[in-house]
Amino acid sequence: MYFQLLRENPIPSSPYNSVDLPYVFSGGTSTTAALVSGPGTVVPVYTYSSGNINVSGLDDIGTYVIRITRFASGEGLTGCGSASEDITIIVSEAPGANQDMAANAGTDSVLPCGDASTNLAGNDPTATQPGVTNVYTGYWTQIDGPGIAVFADETLYNTLVTMPGSGVYNFRWHIVSGPPGSTPSTDDTQVTVSVTPNSQIIPPPTTSNLCAGDFILEATPLASNEVGEWVQVDANPAVVFSDKNNIRTSVNLAPNTTYQIEWQVATTAATPCTYATSVTLDVDSDVAPSAAFAGDDVCLASGTTSVTLNADASSFNDTNQTVGEWTIVSKPNGAPDPTTTYGIKTPGQDAVAAQDAIPAQAAVTSQNPVTSQNAVTAQDAVSAQVAIVASPNPQDIAYQPAVPAQPEILAQPKF
């Protein structure tokens, strides 16, 4: 004798209290069904038809085990010449139909500064109504966040979760009933973490014997829920930051001064968490070149063979004696070296006018009587002098002709 059910762990039809159990067999004359185990005191109702048994009256949610037996008439009581098979039927309702079992992930939370772990507060799926067999399970998942959080046990409604760093994390609590794949009830919760510190100053290569002038300060990136500000905390005259809220900024330092600068970070929560890192800058009397600003990037049209570069030279002056120079950093692979004229800008010089040549003196002819004059000694020749004009390097240079030696003028007799 042979008997086999054609469905394994069937899901009851709507709402949840009836299911068909088709089967095939060979031999025997009768088929019967009996409840092996089930929730509460429910007694299922069986309706037989050719090759199918309809089981109804599954009025409680829970797990039912039903045994189907095929036998020959007259042998049912003895068990001789029979074949049977057990089947498990799980009866469930949509989570939320029973409002006690609708998923509730708990309220959003903001952790104290420095805390990166907390217990989540979902509702307990095992807390079903009295007299109802529990068929609910739950599990947590992470929706998003700046890093991957770790659950101690994702199936616990109040599991401990640990987050890797500052930021906003969103978690989802699922409650499901019935077999795998059943649609769960879900609810979300948000956890805000502020660990100390997240963004901090990147130590400069050196902080002592610095040259006066522009100095670059830099901090590590901010988390999505943080803002930062550069602040001078010493009592020296105020400095000006190029962008006080940017993780990379420049500041102009005066000679012979010691500065203390802080990078102050705060979270954007209603009750913010704040922290700061600092750096001390010791400046000597030397003056550094001004910060280099090469100008905006440009995109040139196809066929363009030359371009005028436009660096900012507004800080070049006689005091800082700044010199600027263009160099090539990179070029396309295989491209020839460009024929570039590198412009060097130096502070301006006041023009020095060329001096006129001193002409030779003419001979002294006879004159009306005059008093005796002392002899005028011979003058040395005056070498050629250079005329200097104000201009950027290279300078234009003009030459004066040599001034010839003048003859000696003898003392003249008295007339």
Secondary structure of residue 408 in the 3-state scheme: coil
Q: What is the pLDDT of residue 394?
A: 42
In a domain, 309, yes or no: no
Residues 178 and 115 in one domain: yes
In a domain, 322, yes or no: no
Q: What is the pLDDT of residue 119?
A: 97
Residues 82 and 103 in one domain: no
C-alpha closest to that of 170 among 148, 189, 186 = 189
User: Has residue 164 got a pLDDT over 70?
Assistant: yes
pTM of the complete model: 0.41
Residue 148, domain extent: 99-193
Q: What is the pLDDT of residue 41?
A: 76
Measured CA to CA, the distance from residue 331 to residue 340 in angstroms comes to 13
Domain end among 36, 58, 91 = 91
Query: pLDDT, tens digit, for every residue of 51-89?
Result: 888 888 887 777 888 888 887 765 444 545 677 888 888
Mean pLDDT over 247-268 rounds to: 92
User: Has residue 257 got a pLDDT over 80?
Assistant: yes
Reading the block at residue 120, the tokens are 């989540």
Query: pLDDT, tens digit, for every residue of 356-399?
Result: 544 545 544 545 554 545 554 555 554 545 444 444 444 444 44
In a domain, 44, yes or no: yes
Name the amino acid, one letter, at 171.
F
Reading the block at residue 394, the tokens are 């290279």
- Domain total for the chain? 3
User: Has residue 272 got a pLDDT over 80?
Assistant: no
Return the DSSP state at 341: -
* Confidence band for 145, pLDDT divided at 50, 70 and 90: very high
Give Cα 365 to chain centroid, integer Å: 96
In a domain, 156, yes or no: yes
Contact residues for 32 (Cβ-Cβ < 8 A; gap 6+): 46, 68, 69, 71, 76
Domain end among 41, 69, 91 = 91
In a domain, 390, yes or no: no
* Confidence band for 354, pLDDT divided at 50, 70 and 90: very low
Return the DSSP state at 352: B
Residues 162 and 222 in one domain: no
Distances (CA, A) of 190 to 75, 111, 168, 318: 65, 11, 7, 60
Measured CA to CA, the distance from residue 135 to residue 177 in angstroms comes to 5
Measured CA to CA, the distance from residue 383 to residue 36 in angstroms comes to 129
Query: pLDDT, tens digit, for every residue of 186-238?
Result: 999 999 887 776 789 999 999 999 989 889 999 999 987 789 999 999 989 89
Q: What is the pLDDT of residue 163?
A: 95
Domain end among 91, 121, 147 = 91
Mean pLDDT over 328-345 rounds to: 71
Query: pLDDT, tens digit, for every residue of 3-17?
Result: 455 455 554 444 457
User: Has residue 185 got a pLDDT over 60?
Assistant: yes
Q: What is the pLDDT of residue 113?
A: 80
Q: What is the pLDDT of residue 315?
A: 64
Measured CA to CA, the distance from residue 159 to residue 175 in angstroms comes to 15
Mean pLDDT over 318-326 rounds to: 67
Contact assessment for residue 198 and residue 115, using Cβ atoms and an 8 Å cutoff: no
User: Has residue 91 got a pLDDT over 50?
Assistant: yes
Measured CA to CA, the distance from residue 136 to residue 129 in angstroms comes to 12
Contact assessment for residue 187 and residue 105, using Cβ atoms and an 8 Å cutoff: yes
Which CATH number do you get for residue 43?
A: 2.60.40.10
Residues 177 and 215 in one domain: no
Residues 216 and 189 in one domain: no
Mean pLDDT, the chain, as a whole number?
76
User: Has residue 156 got a pLDDT over 90?
Assistant: yes
Residues 118 and 189 in one domain: yes
Reading the block at residue 55, the tokens are 């089981």
Reading the block at residue 369, the tokens are 């009587």
On the CB side of 381, CA atoms within 13 Å amount to 7
Residues 114 and 83 in one domain: no
In a domain, 72, yes or no: yes
Give Cα 149 to chain centroid, integer Å: 18
Lowest average pLDDT, out of 148-162, 319-333, 398-412, goes to 398-412
Secondary structure of residue 100 in the 3-state scheme: helix
Query: pLDDT, tens digit, for every residue of 277-312?
Result: 999 999 998 877 666 777 788 888 888 888 888 777
In a domain, 292, yes or no: no
User: Has residue 111 got a pLDDT over 50?
Assistant: yes
Measured CA to CA, the distance from residue 120 to residue 136 in angstroms comes to 19
Name the amino acid, one letter, at 146.
P
Residues 77 and 21 in one domain: yes
* Confidence band for 414, pLDDT divided at 50, 70 and 90: low
Distances (CA, A) of 103 to 49, 131, 158, 398: 41, 21, 13, 93
Residues 14 and 70 in one domain: yes
Most confident of 286-290, 328-332, 401-405: 328-332
Measured CA to CA, the distance from residue 209 to residue 270 in angstroms comes to 43
Contact assessment for residue 89 and residue 58, using Cβ atoms and an 8 Å cutoff: yes
In a domain, 303, yes or no: no
Distances (CA, A) of 54 to 42, 179, 303, 338: 16, 20, 83, 88
Measured CA to CA, the distance from residue 331 to residue 196 in angstroms comes to 44
Reading the block at residue 10, the tokens are 């069937």
- Dihedral sign from CA coordinates of 303, 310, 340, 338: negative
